[in-house]
Structure 1
């Protein structure tokens, strides 16, 4: 698989919750780092409402555990800098968490976008990765992250890539094995885009996939290893999908994510 030289490039990836970075962009972030790009990961919330499937230590909060897991995952993915914005997890659409005064869903999108834009400028990032306008599966925090990322791109001129999932591809290959299926059911919403809408699909080698799985499993408070069996992992998580963010109604030219190699989903090329 071709590895471009992206030395001198900086990519800022904005995510809503710890583990989103591994689930939706783990291959992409690792491959960017391997190609020489500086990867800056910005996490909007601490995942407060995610609970923990594992017992917590005495005095340990969910956010403490999730931060440590995030740090471990970020190291595996080659992240150079991790930035925590400190907003509170909003929980599922329509739930009481969305009304908490510190919830990301209630944050002023312009203020949040300016905060992200300041990070983009400080890092000299030419590319911003963030959620699509539907928030992948309608989660209010993902929608907020979309708005902030889009505003940051508009303010800085950075090229935007909007992460999503290809629901047609997952229906054919993953058969309900991607974690987004369960998340969408819990929220009572649809998810993703159809294949024709996808601009960029990133894949990786078996070694890249192994790193992505390890990064996901670093989030042990959230992800049960049984939910991501090695045998079916490539079918569910072997691609990551992006739309190109429009600016002033114009879709920008291909950027650094395209340089990773636009996978041909329908032919199954790896």
Structure 2
């Protein structure tokens, strides 16, 4: 397990993601490292991702949503999450899908209302930073775009440090990452150019193993063939962020490189 030289006991970070499996794919190492350094990690998952495909048989009477929650709970445990909160919004589809205009869909959620709810949770937990999707929705998915809008608004309401989770598209040109197939589905580019990344976190071998296990825990969404051992370190051994404003707790983690000026 990762042993940090920077004790963060008594400090809290809130991580907001759109779907189950996003936490493992995009911020798994970051959450585990925060937890191992003593920080409290609160994960808010906005939808259950139950409009997506299911790659494994469900048990008799089991729903896709129930399976997604069970997988999310297992992944969260692996990644050191101390509190998991389900926002309860309805899953949205790809850009232009009819599901996106359902009144309960995350894609059309009232940003002010949901951001105030997240801000209240930040106050309840005493969180000093929020992590949320970048302003491109990482790969242009309506739910990821909504997660960005909500997270950014909650940061403005509370004044806490804000980090946009992203991927370095220049780095990933040489690897195979789940976000690439997702971007083909949305017909959008993914992430940001390397020059626009503010922070880069590099995984240890132990953290990388935990990240792969956490992604694999989402077996109804991610097949083993999608995360082969060969090349996994190249694609998933880094996590990237665009920092909004002044440095915060993520900047204090070990093996984090500040690679660009703050925005």
**Fold equivalence (TM over 0.5):** yes
Superimposed CA distance per residue, residues 147-186 of structure 1 (whole angstroms, 9 cap, x where no aligned partner): 11111111111100000100001113x1xx1000000001
Q: Which residue of 2 aligns with 1:4?
A: 6
**Counterpart in the other structure of 2:180:** 181
- Separation of aligned partners in 1, 2:116 and 2:22: 22
Matches of 2:203 and 2:191, distance apart in 1: 21
Query: Which whole-Å CA distance do the structure 2 matches of 1:142 and 1:77 have between them?
Result: 21
Q: Where does residue 251 of structure 2 map in the other structure?
A: 258
Distance 1:70 1:104 in 2: 18
Give the aligned partner of residue 221 of structure 1: 220
Distance in structure 2 (CA, Å) of the matches to 1:180 and 1:108: 27
Task: Give the 3-state SS of the residue equivalent to 1:86 in structure 2.
Answer: coil
Alpha-carbon distance in structure 1 between the residues aligned to 2:225 and 2:203: 22
Residues 42-61 of structure 1: CA distance to partner in whole angstroms, max 9, x if unpaired? Answer: 00001121131001111111
2:141 to 139, 142, 167: 139
TM-score by length of 1: 0.92
1:154-173 mapped onto 2 (5 Å cutoff): 154-172=156-174
TM-score by length of 2: 0.95
1:51–1:62 Cα contact (<8 Å) kept? no
Deviations 1:206-256 (A, max 9, x none): 0000000000000000111111111211011000100012xxxxx22x111
Structure 2 counterpart of 1:84 = 86
1:126 has 2:128 as partner:
yes
Detail structure 1 runs of 4+ shifted over 3 Å in the superposition: none
Gaps of 5+ in 1: 246-250, 266-270
SS of the equivalent of 1:101 reads: coil
For 1:22-171, list aligned pairs within 5 A: 22-171=24-173
Gaps of 5+ in 2: none
Is the partner of 2:171 in helix, strand or coil?
A: helix
Q: CA deviation at 1:2?
A: 5.2
Q: Which among 15, 18, 25 is matched to residue 17 of structure 2?
A: 15
Match of 1:248?
none
3-state DSSP of counterpart to 1:45: coil
Q: How many residues align?
A: 256
